[in-house]
Amino acid sequence: MNVTIIPLLLFMVFPAITSAQTTAELIPLVQPEPHFTYCSLLHITTESTLPPKPKPFLGIALSEIKQETPPLPCPENIFVKVDRVARGSAADKAGIREYDIITAINGTPVCREKGDIVSSFRKNIDRQNVGAQVTFDILRGAEALSVSATLKELPTRYQPEADHRRIEACPERPSLLAPALRSTNTRSLFNDILAGLFLRSSAVHNPGQTSDKDPDRLQLPEMTWLLRHPLTSGAVARDLSRQLAAPLHSADWRPDDIVRSAARLLEAEPAITAPQEITFPALLRAMESAKAKAEKALDRLSPAEAALLREKALSSPEDEQWDSIVDLSLKIERRELFNAFVPLLPFFTRDNLALLKQDLIARFGGNTEPILYDAVTPVGRVIVGDAGPDVYREDAALILDLGGDDLYLNNAGGTRPGMPVALVVDWGGNDRYIAGDSFSQGAGVLGGGFLLDLGGNDTFVSPDGSQGAGFWGSGLLYHGDGKGTFNARSFSQGTGQMGIGIIANGKGDSVYNCSLGGQGLGLFAGAGLLIDRGGDDYYQLGGLQPDFRDPLKATVSFGQGFGGGYRAEKDKTGVPGGIGMLIDEAGDDTYVADYFAQGASYYYGIGILHDLAGNDRYFAGRYAQGAGIHSSIGVMIDQQGNDSYYASFGVAQGMGHDYGVGYLEDDHGDDTYWGGQLVQGAATGGGIGILLDLGGGDRYTCNGKGQAYADADDCMGIMIDTEPSRDILSSHRDVVPVRVGVKNPGK
């Protein structure tokens, strides 16, 4: 055996524990360097990617059902009910119908004794071979039937992936994880998990659906890459965060570049060119051009169809017109729509806004009225306000305010029917933005809405779909330095669906409150971003909509770095999720949420929370803090500070469920982790859960099923702590640098 001496670390590998739940235990003989990369921690050399072996596919969507008069003895009387049958599938050809109750597979009863009966049923099918004939006992009303189905292959389609090969170009030396997989005899299992994730990266989202419905093309290439290269999740998240925040660090800060980078994530990056002049007339011409191009990009929609999308912008699959919403969305070419705003975006840089202000003063400086200019133009109403306190009550396409403590009671850069482009630029003052209508304060619905407030202690209040929200369009709220208070009810503060929603905030202590959905939320084919430059900030999300799992105690958050799609169920079309990111660069911050938040994701979505510095506190309930649920990627990274993480129920803190990938990384500081169950490097159902802590004296507490845990032999939990001698674990096990949690090692 060849032994390589690694300059960074030298490990002693102890024999693997062979119990049902095992961990690899490695003790460093030399303290590791303070800076770690993907290469030194997680990189695993793999063979060139080959298509995984075919997976069996029955073609039904299921849910649990309790039978008061069970067809066979069962401790809880809970069985599986067929909610949907894919057209042309094995189940369809066998005659299985919606509402059938399946009671047995090949004579083995299907009922719940413990755990998730739907997941158990799926695993039973996964264990079969393609082409196998499977017999199902079903209950259809009062009639008991037996049918046989010949399993087909899981349908897949080509999905392009993003290119992050640079990340995987590592030196030829083992990472911390590599010897742990060897010592626990789990490398083969790891390869099987990768193959399962690869297969899901190309899965058809609506098997058997008619060809005119093709939401598969909405799957993001970043999503495809991360499912195929899950260990790179943290490194990719850092790269994306750096690219998106970099324009705010430029001497000529450039919100326009943030919009362009966000569009790149959606494969719809516009080509921005510099304007020939920065003047008031030039801006009006740019507005006219943007309006004309936006209307042309949307001319595939009839007036009635456009009205339906406006009315249903905040709808979920529970809406009876959901399939129509998806179909109409697919008629819109996002790249063409984003290109409509190309003439306008170059005006949004610091230097160009300074030139524009100079031009306004030169043109209107002799006017002594508070409103220097007010006219109805081809783009809509245009207003120029002076440097004193002004009040804006009526909606306008363009407001340019030279300063002062102003009050906005209108759309404030929100699109309206007939007004697909809206812009506000306020050059300073302690302003108040109070909207009575939704889709205000930098919101683009079937268009582009932009609000740039260049500084001051400002307050923003709006109902829904506001404060940097884009639905079939682009929405941007940029706030410069100063304290900011942002209050909204739902789907605001950086929310994108079939579009881009961005809220970018400068330095200052800020408060963000939203009751449902926002603060970096990417819904289908959307990018939602919240970027905060610094300050001791407070983020609160949730409280409006009870979660059905625990409706008396829990609410849905959907945000603080959350990407979510919708699975095909019953008669509803499934769509892959978007990307949601929250980037906070400095300050002692507090994050409060409940279910689905804080670097979490659902169904082919990507959720990222990246906090770069400060002593931070994170509070959540479930599916949070680096949790990937149902073939999705959830990433949470905190780079510096003494931080605390709390997840009351759990399924959090580096947790991957149902072919999902969850990743939590804390780089420095004395940290505290508290979670319920399935936390701190845990996985279920073909997923991977990863927790990395790269230094400090840490305390880990969970109620069970955590700290490198896998609930079955098809998933893996990974926990790495590079300074274990100072740590305390609730499990009372000796703390070691690397733990690999698997069930039935070597199987």
In tens, the pLDDT along 326-372 reads 999 999 999 999 999 999 999 999 999 999 999 999 999 888 899 99
Please tell me the distance from the alpha carbon of residue 587 to that of residue 604, in angstroms, as a whole number. 31
**CB contact at 8 A, 415 and 444:** yes
pTM: 0.92
Q: Is the pLDDT of residue 109 over 90?
A: no
pLDDT score for 45:
87
In tens, the pLDDT along 10-29 reads 232 322 333 334 443 333 33
Share of the chain above pLDDT 90, in %: 76
pLDDT score for 14:
27
Please tell me the distance from the alpha carbon of residue 312 to that of residue 17, in angstroms, as a whole number. 55
pLDDT score for 43:
95
Q: Tell me the two tokens of residue 645.
A: 């993480």
Cβ burial, residue 107 (10 Å; 0-12/13-18/19+) = exposed
In tens, the pLDDT along 615-674 reads 999 999 999 999 999 999 999 999 999 999 999 999 999 999 999 999 999 999 999 999
**If you average pLDDT over residues 288-317, what whole number do you get?**
97
Q: Is the pLDDT of residue 232 over 90?
A: yes
pLDDT band at 114 (very low <50, low <70, confident <90, very high): low
In tens, the pLDDT along 417-463 reads 999 999 999 999 999 999 999 999 999 999 999 999 999 999 999 99
Please tell me the distance from the alpha carbon of residue 609 to that of residue 667, in angstroms, as a whole number. 14
- Alpha carbon separation from 245 to 240, 255, 492, 610 (Å, rounded): 9, 9, 19, 11
pLDDT score for 113:
62
In tens, the pLDDT along 162-216 reads 999 999 999 888 999 999 999 989 999 999 999 999 999 999 998 877 655 688 9
Please tell me the distance from the alpha carbon of residue 546 to that of residue 239, in angstroms, as a whole number. 35
Sequence-distant (≥ 6) Cβ neighbours of residue 460 within 8 angstroms: 433, 441, 467, 477, 479, 484, 485, 486, 487, 488
pLDDT score for 50:
58
pLDDT band at 230 (very low <50, low <70, confident <90, very high): very high
pLDDT score for 581:
99
pLDDT score for 275:
82
**CB contact at 8 A, 466 and 494:** no
Q: Is the pLDDT of residue 140 over 80?
A: yes
Q: Is the pLDDT of residue 32 over 70?
A: no
In tens, the pLDDT along 36-67 reads 589 999 999 875 555 677 889 998 888 888 87
Q: Tell me the two tokens of residue 550.
A: 């625990």
CB atoms within 10 A of CB 121: 20
Q: Is the pLDDT of residue 135 over 60?
A: yes
**If you average pLDDT over residues 288-315, what whole number do you get?**
97
pLDDT band at 395 (very low <50, low <70, confident <90, very high): very high
The continuous run of DSSP H or E covering 358 comes out as: helix 350-364
pLDDT score for 6:
26
Of residues 715, 718, 582, the one with CA closest to residue 660? 715
pLDDT band at 490 (very low <50, low <70, confident <90, very high): very high
Give the homologous superfamily in CATH for domain 56-153: PDZ domain (2.30.42.10)
Please tell me the distance from the alpha carbon of residue 175 to that of residue 32, in angstroms, as a whole number. 12
Please tell me the distance from the alpha carbon of residue 445 to that of residue 492, in angstroms, as a whole number. 12
Q: Tell me the two tokens of residue 651.
A: 């399924």
Please tell me the distance from the alpha carbon of residue 89 to that of residue 80, in angstroms, as a whole number. 18
**If you average pLDDT over residues 479-504, what whole number do you get?**
98
In tens, the pLDDT along 246-299 reads 999 888 888 889 999 999 999 998 887 888 899 999 999 999 999 999 999 999
Average pLDDT, the chain: 90
Please tell me the distance from the alpha carbon of residue 196 to that of residue 199, in angstroms, as a whole number. 5
pLDDT score for 4:
25
Tell me how many degrees the CA angle 148-149-155 measures, rounded to the nearest 5.
175
Tracing tokens 């949004």 back to the chain, one arrives at: 348
Share of the chain above pLDDT 70, in %: 92
Helix, strand, or coil (residue 495)? strand
pLDDT score for 480:
96
CB atoms within 10 A of CB 158: 7
In tens, the pLDDT along 562-615 reads 999 999 877 789 999 999 999 999 999 999 999 999 999 999 999 999 999 999
pLDDT score for 568:
86
Please tell me the distance from the alpha carbon of residue 192 to that of residue 175, in angstroms, as a whole number. 20
**If you average pLDDT over residues 526-531, what whole number do you get?**
99
pLDDT score for 730:
82
Q: Mind giving me the DSSP string for 313-332?
A: TT--TTSTTHHHHHHHHTT-
Of residues 150, 124, 137, the one with CA closest to residue 82? 137
Please tell me the distance from the alpha carbon of residue 444 to that of residue 467, in angstroms, as a whole number. 10
Q: Is the pLDDT of residue 707 over 60?
A: yes
Tracing tokens 């108040």 back to the chain, one arrives at: 432
Domain boundaries, the chain: 56-153, 438-743
Q: Tell me the two tokens of residue 7.
A: 């300059």
pLDDT score for 271:
83
In tens, the pLDDT along 709-724 reads 998 889 999 999 998 8
Phi, psi of 458 (to 5 degrees): -120, 155
**CB contact at 8 A, 485 and 508:** no
pLDDT score for 736:
81
Please tell me the distance from the alpha carbon of residue 476 to that of residue 447, in angstroms, as a whole number. 12
